[in-house]
Amino acid sequence: MKNITIRQLQIFSIAARHLSFVRASEELFLTQPAVSMQIRQLEETVGMPLFDKIGKKLYLTEAGRQIERTAHEVLGAIKNAQDSLAALGGLRAGLVTVALVSTAKYFVPRLIALFRQSHPEIELRIVISNREALIQLLQNNEVDLAIMGRPPQEIDAASYPLARHPHVIIAAPDHALAPRRKIKPEELNQETFLIREEGSGTRLAMESFFETEHVEPRRGMVMGSNETIKQAVIAGLGLGFISLHTIALELKAGELTVLDVKGMPMMRTWYAAHLRNKHLSPATAAFKDFLVREAGNYLDAAFAETSVHVRNRLTRTERMAYDGNAAGT
């Protein structure tokens, strides 16, 4: 065991989280053979296989689960040491690891670019996954901050509201419902929806809307990304329930339209979160404070045209509620 390297534990931990060498290689910006080689060397050092392959799926062996627990402990301790050393050095430098739900990738990189204009010495790394994986990353102390659509109540975390987050129902422009106004939610029972995977925050929001409105539409294909859902909706395969922040380009190009459904847009909130007992490095604290201070104004400005597209369809009362949500965030 003394010959195990930190790099091997890092690569194994990510492969174990995804249960996929391909996805691990994408996150690490490595080739798949490089990931496979590091895992193979780790298995040789341990003397046992860490993964079972059954069909096309990977599963952790008992030894793999033990090494996963060890990796979380070791990598968490190293992260704590890095944060403590960064605190001794002040705000002159530092590394901040930020985990995002996939929907947040449409705006967080631009906020990072704005932050680095005044803090060019601070390095930021991004990890993108679904909500369930982000909560696990926070719990394992593998990331400093997570940006998601609901506070992580499953763990003891501190959460900070950042900005309003509207969700809408989208269709192809030639869909029969596209020209309609004030569509009743129950009319959606006849429609097929393209849905995100289990564990996705967008799927949780969609299911919450359906439950509140007593809607039970047909469910089509399960898709692992917003991009795939958008392309499938454009192709006429069904409707999509999606964040308004993901469709600015498609609305502007006329490839998608937002359906005028009563009770929509469904307004939620973006949050930044970290473990409550985590000691934030000066760099992490500075980035968190920047997000709390600037994210709302930035999103309102960056997606103003997209928001107008929806707001113009609302009644006066609905617009007041919509704008009230903005003011309250």
Domain ranges across the chain: 1-71, 163-269+302-315
Q: How far apart are CA 236 and CA 247, in angstroms?
A: 16
For the domain made up of 163-269+302-315, the CATH class stated in words is alpha beta
User: Model pTM?
Assistant: 0.67
Using DSSP, state whether 234 is helix, strand or coil: helix
**Residue 240, strand partner residues:** 170, 194
Residues 212/187, Cβ–Cβ less than 8 Å: no
Architecture of domain 1-71 in CATH? Orthogonal Bundle (1.10)
pLDDT per position as a tens digit, 25-43: 888 888 999 999 999 999 9
Report which of residues 161 and 263 the model is more confident about: 161
pLDDT per position as a tens digit, 71-95: 988 888 887 777 776 666 665 667 8
Return the pLDDT at 318: 47
Residues 283/175, Cβ–Cβ less than 8 Å: no
Q: How far apart are CA 145 and CA 242, in angstroms?
A: 24
pLDDT per position as a tens digit, 236-279: 999 999 998 898 889 888 999 999 998 888 888 999 999 998 88
Buried b (16+ CB within 10 A) or exposed e, 271-306: bbbbbeebebbbbbbbbbebbeeebbebbeebbeeb
Written in H, E and C, the secondary structure of 22-58 is: HHHHHHHCCCHHHHHHHHHHHHHHHCCCCEEEECCEE
Amino acid code (one letter) for 266: M
Confidence of residue 299 (pLDDT cuts 50, 70, 90): confident
Q: How far apart are CA 317 and CA 191, in angstroms?
A: 28
Nearest Cα neighbor of 110 from 245, 268, 309, 251 is 245
